[in-house]
Amino acid sequence: MTTRKTLLRGALATTALLTLTSLGAAPLAAHAATPVAAVPATTHLSGTLQPGFATTAPTSLQVVTSQGITMTVNVSTTTQIVRRYNGQSALDELSPGDKIGVSGSISGTTAITATALKDFTIQRAFTRNVGRITAINSDMTKLTVRVLRDSRAEAHNPFDEGSTIYVAVTPTMTVTLADGSQGTVQDSLSPGLVITTLGVYNRNSRTFGDVSRIRVWSPAVGQTTEVHGILQAGFGTTQPTTLTLRTPYHGLVTVGVGSSTKLVRRYNGASNLAELSAGDKLAVIATYLGNSSYSATRIKDVTIQKAFSSMVGRIKTISGNTLTVQVLADSRAKGQNPFKVGETLTQTVSPQTVITLANGSAGTMADLQPGMRVYTLGVVNRKAHAFVSVARIHLLS
């Protein structure tokens, strides 16, 4: 019989795993005079890991093969998981998009019960740590993490339980979330979250100098976690209230917003419930209460940006205190501009909006005319293609 060790070193040691064209059961050798009970044949497949999976077994993965077939891979507590060169791995090291090899027994036509799983995307020589974020610096470039016990890596972990280490990151670095989807450091991480970090660790400085990936753990009741979703209609504009989000993998969930819940825009500018609109994408840090319910400590509306977004445009129409402005190319905001050249946005001028004429002197609403080029600074709702508020308008011509 094929041993588990042979399976890992043989069947999974090569990327040329059998594809679905060879998933049929193979007859087992038997002594001519001795009937042998039929057992499921070992099957091998490879493919690309899809979003939507937990960090603890039992769970199921979705893997798309090179033929475009989606296979359900059932992972149990006894499934052996390794990295490319057979270093020990775990579900919390996997990320959507990884190249996965699976060995196991076929169940039906599109499901396999895995006895062994290899992630070809990650290599052996990575340091692993499980810890709780205790702080994040203001520019989102360093996480302070308290080390937690990790029974899967106790013999190899260079960290002492309870010690503090530091993880160098970038704000836009991809993070795999608790539901297996992906977010970013700036939108998805907050003190209190438990994360697995995989990377190159400097023992002298006690920092991760090169971080390969970060995964947020699937929560138990009472633990801090993150949840992303689309805000549904029907909520109050004053705290406390309850929000309903439609999430990618958990359907509708409810989020309680207390009097102390902090609300921010995408880049952490202060916000409030009155700025939220149905259809906005929210990133929530919350305590998991069970049964699809959460109690929020921080809510970020990633649809609206921190003051301020800027744009250069040409006034098309003026109606009362509302402008329609067509977006023009602006080399000064290349890479940060959330608008497409040629699209039209609505801007509402309030009594607090500062209007400056081309010569630098103060202006008023009466100075604005169709055809003028203007530079606008304010808070933008990306979904609505409109400025939530306009701080200042500077006439360019």
Rg (CA), the chain: 27
Show the domains of the chain with their CATH numbers.
Answer: 4-28+37-119 (2.40.50.140), 127-216 (2.40.50.320), 224-301 (2.40.50.140), 309-395 (2.40.50.320)
Average per-residue pLDDT in the chain? 82
Q: Is the pLDDT of residue 15 over 60?
A: no
The predicted-structure confidence for 275-300, as pLDDT tens digits, reads as follows 788 888 999 999 999 989 999 999 99
Q: Is the pLDDT of residue 156 over 80?
A: no
The predicted-structure confidence for 58-110, as pLDDT tens digits, reads as follows 999 999 999 999 999 999 999 999 988 888 888 988 989 899 999 999 888 89
What is the model's pLDDT at position 62? 94
pLDDT over 70, % of the chain: 85
Q: Is the pLDDT of residue 247 over 70?
A: yes
Task: Give the three-state DSSP class for 286.
Answer: strand
Measure the CA–CA gap between 217 and 39, rounded to whole angstroms. 36
Q: How far apart are the first and last CA of the chain?
A: 82
Reported as a pLDDT band with limits 50, 70 and 90, residue 308 is low
Task: Mean pLDDT check: name the lowest of 31-35, 236-240, 278-282.
Answer: 31-35
Q: Is the pLDDT of residue 2 over 50?
A: no
Measure the CA–CA gap between 82 and 89, rounded to whole angstroms. 5
Residue 352 near residue 377, CB atoms below 8 Å: no
The predicted-structure confidence for 81-94, as pLDDT tens digits, reads as follows 998 888 888 898 89
Which backbone phi and psi does 366 adopt, to 5 degrees? -65, -20
The predicted-structure confidence for 325-356, as pLDDT tens digits, reads as follows 999 987 655 555 678 889 898 899 998 888 88
What is the model's pLDDT at position 363? 87
Closest alpha carbon to 46 in 97, 85, 100: 100
Measure the CA–CA gap between 71 and 202, rounded to whole angstroms. 39
Q: Is the pLDDT of residue 32 over 50?
A: no
Task: Give mean pLDDT, residues 16-20.
Answer: 37
Task: Give mean pLDDT, residues 204-219.
Answer: 82
Task: Give mean pLDDT, residues 293-315.
Answer: 87
